[in-house]
Amino acid sequence: MLDTLIDRLLRHAFTPLVRQGLLEIVTPAGRVLAFGDGGTPQARMRLTDRRAVFALLRDPDLQFGELFMQERLRVEHGTVYDVLELVLRGARGVPVRPSVRLLDAWRMRLRPLLQHNQRRRARANVAHHYDLDDRLYRLFLDDDRQYSCAYFARGDESLEEAQLAKKRHIAAKLLVEPGQRVLDIGCGWGGMALYLAEVAQAGQVTGVTLSTEQLATAQQRAAASPRGADLQFRLEDYRDTRGAFERIVSVGMFEHVGTGHHDAFFRQCRDLLTEDGVMLLHFIGNSDVPDFNNPWIERYIFPGGHIPSLSEFTPAIERAGLVVTDIEVLRLHYARTLRLWRERFLARRAEAAALYDERFCRMWEFYLAMSETAFRYQDIAVFQVQLARRQDAVPLTRDYVGVREAELQAREQVRAAG
């Protein structure tokens, strides 16, 4: 009787979702339920016990990843990415079950508490992810350690080419001039700051981060740079930064600010920016209405994080007295980036397991796979928002971006030859 109920519940949940391809679900009783039209992709997953079935149906956002980590949800054919693709690409427009809708409403109410990123908590949240063993990131990132969305002008670039193009694209939008002071908020391993100093020919470049592991690498790279005297990296919360900067850049950090701190972030940026200054903010955003952070991501990957909608962050920009001079939406660039990261990680999975363990590897594989499917099939994209204190701080049209990219590319070639 219970096994028959399980079959019926699984069919009710997955039939509306999987319309193309083939997803087979093996129940705890050994029955095989098939969903889809038999096309591609094709995958088979097994739920090992009855409690796993009810957990998945009760809270799929959290339990899918947890059950995969626990090996109570096993992918026997295909990959976990294939399973997620089969489920998510048909999810748009499918009504949310009432029980899940209530859970979603509760999580929306919890957002302020989870995103209460005061200084101590912000530091702990960053350490949770970015202070992992540095050798882990070497397994799948490019040589410059760019841990953010790459830029694919053609779509077939290598990871290294696309990450270099990303830095070039951002530097062109920043309109960096020789001698200008630049602040990099959330500087990571220092690659963007190094590019702005060595290629874009900025003056003093200051990077701030809350990650001790990233700081150590950034400082080592600065010491080896021919522009080392003009590079400074500090372990510092953006709220404590002082000075005046003609240019401010922030790549992949704003997702960690939290909606309750948007006003403080943009007020601080305005205070740090000179009257004729320009800022470029690159971050993951939500193209739909405001939502809560994925609970599995919140628990295991990015505690305190949030993917803001336009309607959430633009009012804070207005209240801070900044002017939005340009917004570019990079829609599928991060999906491509994540696919390349996932392929590299899986190719070196044994090395990751030697650093941590198999459970960690399953967690990391799920993180990369789920993130890629979110960018492909859900309303997640990367926003590049250009800001200024004055409307006339940037040219009237975008023509300057291509011109400056060409100039920067020529300097890159000189740098590589030297």
Domains (range + CATH), the chain:
2-88 (3.30.1050), 119-417 (3.40.50.150)
Residues 380 and 389: their CA atoms lie apart, in Å, by 28
The per-residue pLDDT for 101 is 74
HEC-encoded secondary structure of the chain: CHHHHHHHHHHHHHCCCCCCCEEEEECCCCCEEEEECCCCCEEEEEECCHHHHHHHHHCHHHHHHHHHHCCCEEEEECCHHHHHHHHHCCCCCCCCCHHHHHHHHHHHHHHHHHCCCCHHHHHHHHHHHHCCCHHHHHCCCCCCCCCCCCCCCCCCCCHHHHHHHHHHHHHHHHCCCCCCCEEEECCCCCHHHHHHHHCCCCCCEEEEECCHHHHHHHHHHHHHCCCHHHEEEEECCHHHCCCCEEEEEEECCHHHCCHHHHHHHHHHHHHHEEEEEEEEEEEEEECCCCCCCCHHHHHHCCCCCCCCEHHHHHHHHHHHCCEEEEEEEECCHHHHHHHHHHHHHHHCHHHHHHHCCHHHHHHHHHHHHHHHHHHHHCCEEEEEEEEECCHHHCCCCCHHHHHHHHHHHHHHHHHHHC
| Alpha-carbon span 414 to 408, nearest angstrom | 10
Q: Residue 301's pLDDT is what?
A: 93
Give the pLDDT confidence of 105-128 residue by residue, as tens digits.
Answer: 777 787 777 777 788 888 898 888
What confidence category does residue 104 fall into, taking pLDDT thresholds of 50, 70 and 90?
Answer: confident
| Reported confidence tier of residue 417, pLDDT bands at 50, 70, 90 | confident
pLDDT at 183 over 80: yes
Q: What's the confidence (pLDDT) of residue 355?
A: 96
**What is the pTM for the complete model shown?**
0.94
With pLDDT > 90 as the criterion, what percentage of the chain qualifies? Answer: 83
CA distance 54 to 343: 32
Note the pLDDT tens digit of each residue in 310-345. 999 999 999 999 999 999 999 899 999 999 999 999
Q: Tell whether the model's pLDDT for residue 103 goes beyond 80.
A: no
Please check the confidence at residue 136 and state whether its pLDDT lies above 80.
Answer: yes
How do residues 343-387 score in pLDDT, each as one tens digit?
A: 999 999 999 999 999 999 999 999 999 999 999 998 899 999 999
pLDDT for the residue numbered 226: 95
Instruction: For residues 156-182, give the mean pLDDT.
Output: 97
| The pLDDT of residue 205 is above 90 | yes
> Do 180 and 202 touch, CB atoms closer than 8 A?
yes
Q: Does the pLDDT value for residue 102 go beyond 90?
A: no
Average pLDDT, the chain: 94
Token duo for residue 299: 């628990």
The residues that bridge with 337 in the sheet, in sequence order, are none
The pLDDT tens digits for 206-251 are 999 999 999 999 999 999 999 999 999 999 999 999 999 999 999 9
- The confidence score (pLDDT) of residue 112 equals 78
Average pLDDT (296-302) is 93
Q: What is the pLDDT of residues 29-70, one digit of tens each?
A: 999 999 999 999 999 999 999 999 999 999 999 999 999 999
State the angle between helix axes of 212-224 and 119-130 in degrees (0 to 180), rounded to the nearest 10.
70
> Could you give the CA distance from residue 114 to residue 179 in angstroms, rounded to a whole number?
41
Task: Give the pLDDT of residue 297.
Answer: 94
